[in-house]
Structure 1
Amino acid sequence: MPIKVQLAVDMTCQSCVDDINRVLGAVPGVDKIDISLDDKRVIVEGTAGPSAVLKAIKDTGRAAVVRGTGSSSGGNIGAAVCIFEEGRALAHSATRGLARFVQVSETTCFVDISVSGIANGSHGIAIHECGDLSQVPESCGAHWNPDGVKHGDLATGHRGDLGNLVVKDGWGDLAFETDRFKVWEIIGRSMVIGAGPDDLGKGDSAASKVDGGSGPGILAGVVARSAGLFENDKQVCACSGNTLWTEQRLVDQGHRL
């Protein structure tokens, strides 16, 4: 189901516009591109995830920030974001990725996850009951499982079971649609990415039946409401006074938001 992604992009001339049109035109799932040089705004429509669109623009050397996401059918049903940070001592950790959630219809949620700077291979990922990151993963509680079912895959396991994210050359992403939860049901909960792969409950160990044996949580974050389309037009961060471009460069360098 198509979604729209609104981005702020640091553009200075028509050549920037032409370059961004070119790179986005090569991204699978991008159906429509609308660029405003005066507003430094790019709107992309299609089935491509926000992380793929953002990465394509950043690969041109330009600073870019996702300002909002929403359904192509119109209206903002709901959107959320989870910022992944490292380890137990989150006060001193680095930002390593994002999960974005877009409610594209009353029944379907689009999920887009991207991480960087962790070990190559498969990493289990799940939504947990609690939004307490004081002692990851114990303080996050168990996998979110309101139906009381056994641990498993995205289709049949806990509603918080999201399967595996595969990291290659330091970068991993995962995008899918699901009708098993809605954005407003997961806001305030946490997400945890494990050190190893999730066996989807098919193993023989006790851990397989709990979390797929994915090991200790190495990245975690809290799911929070985010801006829908055209809900965020800021150019300067009210917290730090930095421009959007400075804020994004700090994030890209691994600093906390």
Structure 2
Amino acid sequence: MSIKVQLAVDMTCQSCVDDVTQVLTKVPGVDNVSITLADKQVVVTGSAGPSSIVNALKSSGRSAVVRGAGSTASGNIGAAVCIFEEGRALSNSATRGLARFVQVSEQTCFVDVSLSGIPDGLHGLAIHECGDLSSVPESCGAHWNPEGTEHGSREQGHRGDLGNIEVKDGWGEVAFETDRFKVWEIIGRSMVVGMGADDLGKGKEAGSRVDGGSGPGILAGVVARSAGLFENDKLVCACSGNTLWTEQRLVDQGRRL
């Protein structure tokens, strides 16, 4: 399934456009890049997740912010974002994370997750019942499991089971499609990152059938509705007066959430 990702990229001239085009065409899964310099807008089409696109631009020294995402076939069916901002176990670490959800058809949701600043290795991911971050992870409730099934993989098990993300050298990224939930079903719930690997319900311990034995949640965020394609055209933050790229740099430096 192909998606479109709309970004605001700090560009000032044709040389910037050429550089951005060169960087993005090397990203696996990118099929087409369309750039409008006057609006500082970049639209990328393909199977690449928004996190891999933004990471490629940042690695090249460019400031980029995702404005929206949607289906190439069905337009704006639904989109959501989860910013991981609470975590007891790593409260003193420079942790960051973001999950994006794009409904690319009536049946299929595209999920894109990126994390940094947590220990290398596999970490379980799951949608939890509640959007309460007052005492992570207990306040988030159990895995979202409306059918009352046993824990498993993202293909079978709880509808909130999202498998694992692998972190290497402080950075982790995973993107996949699922037909097990729609964007509008998870808005208002939380997403939690586990301390360790999720055994996908195949372990011998009793907890394997409940949460995969991935340990306490170390990061969590609330799933909230986000802009679809071309639904957000601002370049300046209304709250601070900073450009979007300045705001993003402050976030990257750990100065703002």
Q: Does 1:170 align with 2:170?
A: yes
Partner of 2:191: 191
- 1-side partners of 2:243 and 2:74: how far apart? 29
Structure 1 unaligned blocks of 5 or more: none
TM-score (norm 1): 0.96
- 2-side partners of 1:77 and 1:90: how far apart? 35
The alpha carbon displacement at 1:75 in A equals: 2.1
The alpha carbon displacement at 1:204 in A equals: 1.3
TM-score (norm 2): 0.96
Partner of 2:205: 205
Partner of 1:159: 159
- 2-side partners of 1:177 and 1:17: how far apart? 31
**Structure 2 contact 86–133 (Cα < 8 Å) conserved:** no
**Structure 2 contact 11–17 (Cα < 8 Å) conserved:** yes
**Structure 1 contact 86–94 (Cα < 8 Å) conserved:** no
Q: 80-89 vs 193-202, which deviates more?
A: 80-89
- 1:118-137 correspondence runs (5 A): 118-137=118-137
**Structure 1 contact 124–214 (Cα < 8 Å) conserved:** yes
**Structure 2 contact 74–105 (Cα < 8 Å) conserved:** no
Distance change >3 Å, CA 58–CA 185, structure 1 → 2: same
- Residue identity in the other structure for 2:72: S
- 1-side partners of 2:131 and 2:94: how far apart? 18
- 2-side partners of 1:176 and 1:18: how far apart? 30
- 1:1-257 correspondence runs (5 A): 1-88=1-88, 96-257=96-257
Structure 2 unaligned blocks of 5 or more: none
- 1-side partners of 2:202 and 2:196: how far apart? 15
**Structure 2 contact 194–218 (Cα < 8 Å) conserved:** yes
1:178-205 per-residue CA deviation (whole Å, 9 max, x = no partner) reads 0000000000000000110000111111
Aligned length: 257
Q: 84-93 vs 141-150, which deviates more?
A: 84-93
- Residue identity in the other structure for 2:251: V
Q: 41-50 vs 88-97, which deviates more?
A: 88-97
- 1-side partners of 2:171 and 2:137: how far apart? 22
The alpha carbon displacement at 1:172 in A equals: 0.3
Distance change >3 Å, CA 90–CA 225, structure 1 → 2: farther
> Secondary structure of 1:247's match?
helix
- 2-side partners of 1:18 and 1:25: how far apart? 11
- 1-side partners of 2:89 and 2:218: how far apart? 11
The alpha carbon displacement at 1:18 in A equals: 0.8
- 2-side partners of 1:14 and 1:63: how far apart? 16
- Residue identity in the other structure for 1:131: G
- 1-side partners of 2:138 and 2:105: how far apart? 33
The alpha carbon displacement at 1:247 in A equals: 0.6
The alpha carbon displacement at 1:89 in A equals: 9.3
* Same amino acid, percent of matched pairs: 78
The alpha carbon displacement at 1:49 in A equals: 0.5
- Residue identity in the other structure for 1:44: V
The alpha carbon displacement at 1:94 in A equals: 5.4
- Residue identity in the other structure for 2:157: G
